[in-house]
Structure 1
């Protein structure tokens, strides 16, 4: 019987709802590999899937010929943040690799950032979203291992500006609670827990980011500010998560946040307010999502570019917004 994962950081009952799935910041509670995490590692999110097939890259990105290991069983994704660390992704990953090997796991595949395939490889990975897990496309490590029982562990290690991040995917082949229906298109033979496959899962960009790329501008309509203030609400805001994810993995992209208001009050006052609101959004992307500050600037143009009439309250509400403008090509 596999043991529980020892967790040194303090337990928390924080529950975060993301994309309709509950993530609970608490120690892993089911049968898993026995790993000792760094003492300052904090579990920030977790997602569990019972009786499923989890495709995991088992080779470098090679378009349709990319090799995958399809692991069947109970799947748990866990994200950890290591604050104020100077460790490189390699240094974060190596002790975990050694622990796995000591417990009878065998390396299936390992690679680093551009060798793996950079952007294309990262988006083959099923990992928890920002801010729980961040992957620097030029600075990450990947390791995939399997033991004699068919249990699988995949680890991604990366860094942001001020913290390290670890993502651990564990597939417990012994804990399948119900039969797994495998589509014929997956090409999986009967009575096999894991095989090498060339099926590549789709990882499309979000609709908001696609619109930003194709149209050059997108309103961030889910943002909420305190009445008459430039203070951004606590969120979370899905638009900022999408924008942050895009900017972090597209380092050449530059974004201008442009604030807009209705026409109540003076032009000068509204320009100042709109600029402050855009600056508040910029600060949130930098401080909470670790987006490099050099990629984002903030401007405000008051009521000079309405998208609806200012005669009605509905129109004025539509005009009070912050837009993201792509200042450089993808």
Structure 2
């Protein structure tokens, strides 16, 4: 009797897992779905999604609904220092640092401050640790002032950070991609100064070493 109960419990667990995979990894067509905001970063996921039989009655799909196209969801970890001056995002494929513009530059300037080199060189050390071969350096501003001015300033700031990284990583054979996005892709509300401060940033991103967890 005990063995029979255990077998039944395992079968129910597999059914529950199938339902979870069908909803999370696949989504359900015909049911409204949330979508991520447009991003300047291409997806780096190459992992194959779990196969689920769309005709499996255990999925309990609503009448007329079908499974959406499968995809693998990245696991993301976000760490922000206490002052909010630096933000690190880790997924299973890449690492991204976001440095607040006020830490790196003077107001409306692309000239690096005295405190900037230390923070940028710390990122360079992580790039070396991960043995990255391509690094993206993207600049962003808030929505104050003209869009054209923001585009130019964000590109100049990205170039300034790139110059420090390139010097620190000299001889490593790294390819850099530098862009200025201006007020595009805000990560906070531009209607408040706190939000605008977060949006004024330079992001440095790169692929993590295979199997690396930190």
Q: TM-score scaled to structure 1, two decimals?
A: 0.33
Structure richer in strand, relative to its length: 1
Q: TM-score scaled to structure 2, two decimals?
A: 0.48
Structure richer in helix, relative to its length: 2
